[in-house]
Amino acid sequence: MSSTIAAPDSAAAKPDPAALCRFLDGEHHDIKQTVRERLADFGVAPPGEQLPREEYRAQVLEWMLRLAETGQPAMLFPESAGGAGDPGGAISAFEMLGHGDLSLLVKCGVQFGLFGGAVHHLGNEEHHRKYLADVASAKLLGCFAMTESGHGSNVQAVETTASYDGDASEWVIHTPTESARKDYIGNAARDGHMAVVFAQLEVGGDEHGVHALLVPIRDQDGNVLDGVRIEDDGDKLGLQGVDNGRIWFDHVRVPRENLLDRYATVGSDGLYESPIENKDRRFFTTIGTLIQGRVSVSGAALSATKSALAIAVRYAGRRRQFGPPDSSDEALLIDYRVHQRRLLPRLAATYAIHFAQRELVAELHKALTSEDYGDREQRQLEARAAGVKAASTWHATDTIQACREACGGAGYLMVNRFTALKSDTDVFTTFEGDNTILLQLVAKGLLTDFKQRVGDLNALEMVRFYGEQVMDQVVERSLARQVVGAFRDIVPSRDDESYDDERIEDREWQVDLFRWREEHVLGGVARRLRAGLDDDADTFEVFNECQDHVLAAARAHVDRLIVESFARAVEACEDDSLRLVLDKVFDLHALSTIECERGWFFEHGRMTAPRSKAITKAVNRLCAELREHAEVLVDAFAIPDAVLAAPIATGQDRASAGG
């Protein structure tokens, strides 16, 4: 049955999904392809029905052990510890797990990425030699115990203590209050034998801030060790196959060597030494080293988003409802403009974030494998990781919901995947850094050189410093644009842009609007922070007053990073048939984002009514043009049918598709 609503006749040759897949995958195509096939081979399809919790946990553990046997997790670790020293490849492989059962993904993330990652990045060579091979083979199952019931986002304020007993050369790990119990810890309730515990270090009466230590929690037979108490967190909104739990420590003793001492050691003489003198800086350096987990979650969220889009787009290409009154044929959902509007801009944004993520992984790989990666680059990488993770996980939540609705009642059936996609990815916006907190980190990255200086500044100076840094950023950019002088010079006046419909097609114009918005919001934050300052200022209040504005600056920054990554990727595409469609996907992403933000652009004199209408018209036209390519765009995600699993997307449920 043919479509009854006329779709625009696309003269363009259809791009080859396999070629598009290779282009999307980039240098990690082979490993991604291997993992896709591996998932299908393992039968790692998300359950079509709810398994009892313990059965589900056992199934997820079994999958993880099988995965460990393939050697895939060892890619993450250094060659000296039996790994492949390929973090970029390992993170790309992990990203593919996001198409399958998300409890497996998170269980692997905890075991290899968080537990193994902490040993790798915070430990010394002896720790690597002793533990990493067993972590990679999943012989030693572990936890990453950072969060406490009382403190999640504010890790610096955790209360668990690690006090040094010089006579015994041991650390004493203790939970001093109920709010200090470790909480939500993956692998704790059932399987973990050891935990990396983040605790306030105390040596000879001196407090040195948060450090990480290896603490055994179960014996060989799985019995909880003396002094350790563990409780199951119970049922959760999703991720029921992961055994999250709470841990208490009652004066548990571990040897001196169990301190993961990359940034601070305690020698046999009992003296504490660190190459980083400033306590705050040491803390931020320690935490910064762990961004691998954040980057991994960001990639996994993208994979889940792609699964949702693949299901909804395919369903929309088969499902019919209503149609022209003079026809007996009903129309395909994908031919309705509103349906295109619901799915295609989100598909375009997924492409955009995909390229930002790919650049992020490449940069992280560089940071983790080069000897001379600089402090400044590291700070920028941390801010970028925070921003892309927030964007990717929020985008996942929004898109999965939109896709569920786009599949109507069929989308509500567990067998069609959205139950798991929604409930399992929901928490991605919270763990590995709550998104709102991460955007504040982005803003700090924009506004300050905080890693070197924040610890030396008191609160009032800090607010001033934020202001100065904003101005520095702005001035740096204005210099780059050869507009030297005052900040106001880089902000075009309300009437210096003549209306020109043609320009909205122009890539430079589009990207420049993202840059302009970022600069303008940053400048606005700077002015407000400065205006709020005088010697009597309540600095917390000043900063708090501007917090929404600071977050808006971070969002504008991340939007700009993403659109620039996408522009670079499209520019690098040498295949004409791919380029043609990628150009349209880019335009749709850029213009639909601008359309969403048009209220702001109106407020700031960069949008006129005719231009706003022209943008809406262009978005509609692009939706119509990309309708022809929608299936190819999702086919390029190359998710095997056995893994995608939803009958409405794999052709098994013909009845829902209308026969």
Residues involved in catalysis = 432
Q: Are 215 and 140 in contact (CB under 8 A)?
A: no
171 SS3 class = strand
Q: How far is the CB of 146 from ligand FAD (least distance, A)?
A: 3
Among 59, 124, 137, 153, binds ligand FAD (CB under 6 A): 153
CB of 563 within 8 A of CB of 352? yes
Residue 565: closest CA among 636, 517, 633, 511: 511
Cα(261)–Cα(18) distance, integer angstroms: 46
Please report the sign of the dihedral spanned by the C-alpha atoms of residue 654, residue 655, residue 656, residue 659.
Answer: positive
Q: Does 436 bind ligand FAD (CB under 6 A)?
A: yes
Sole window of 61-69, 357-365, 433-441, 496-504 interacting with ligand FAD (rule: CB under 6 A): 433-441
Using CB under 6 A, which of 244, 392, 399, 592 touches ligand FAD?
A: 244
Answer yes or no whether residue 184 interacts with ligand FAD by CB under 6 A.
yes
Q: Which is nearer to ligand FAD, 3 or 436 (CB)?
A: 436
Q: Of 35, 194, 239, 546, which lies in the binding site for ligand FAD, with binding defined by CB under 6 A?
A: 239
Q: Which of 7, 437, 580, 632 contacts ligand FAD by CB under 6 A?
A: 437
Number of residues interacting with ligand FAD: please give it, by CB under 6 A: 19
Pick 4 or 153: Cβ nearer ligand FAD: 153
d(CA 15, CA 26): 17
Site for ligand FAD in 198-217 (CB under 6 A): none
Nearer to ligand FAD, 7 or 437 (CB): 437
Q: The tokens of 259 are what?
A: 């301190």
Measured from the Cβ of residue 252, the count of other Cβ atoms closer than 10 Å reads 22
CA distances from residue 60 to 102, 107, 243, 505 in whole angstroms, order as listed: 10, 8, 10, 48
Range in contact with ligand FAD (rule: CB under 6 A) among 139-147, 161-169, 285-293, 598-606: 139-147
Instruction: Out of 165, 434, 468, 595, point to the residue binding ligand FAD (CB under 6 A).
Output: 434
What letters, b where the CB count within 10 A reaches 16 and e where it falls short, cover 116-152? bbbbbbbbeeebbebbbbbbbebebbbbbbbbbeebb
Q: Give the range of 413-421, 427-435, 457-465, 527-535 binding ligand FAD by CB under 6 A.
A: 427-435
Q: How far is the CB of 193 from ligand FAD (least distance, A)?
A: 15
Cβ distance 319 to 331 under 8 Å?
A: no
Q: Which of residues 99-128 bind ligand FAD (CB under 6 A)?
A: 110
Strands 245-249 and 228-232, by their bridges, are antiparallel
Task: Pick the binder of ligand FAD from 102, 135, 173, 185 (CB under 6 A).
Answer: 185
Taking CB under 6 A as the rule, does residue 160 contact ligand FAD? no
Our finding on whether 543 is near ligand FAD (CB under 6 A) is no
Q: Which is nearer to ligand FAD, 85 or 152 (CB)?
A: 152
Instruction: For residue 528, list its beta bridge partners.
Output: none
Burial class (CB in 10 A: 0-12, 13-18, 19+), 555: buried
Q: Are 486 and 474 in contact (CB under 8 A)?
A: no
What residue number has its CB nearest to ligand FAD?
152
Positions in 362-381 near ligand FAD (CB under 6 A): none
Residues of this chain that interact with ligand FAD (CB under 6 A) are 110, 144-147, 152-153, 184-186, 236, 239, 244, 427, 430-431, 434, 436-437
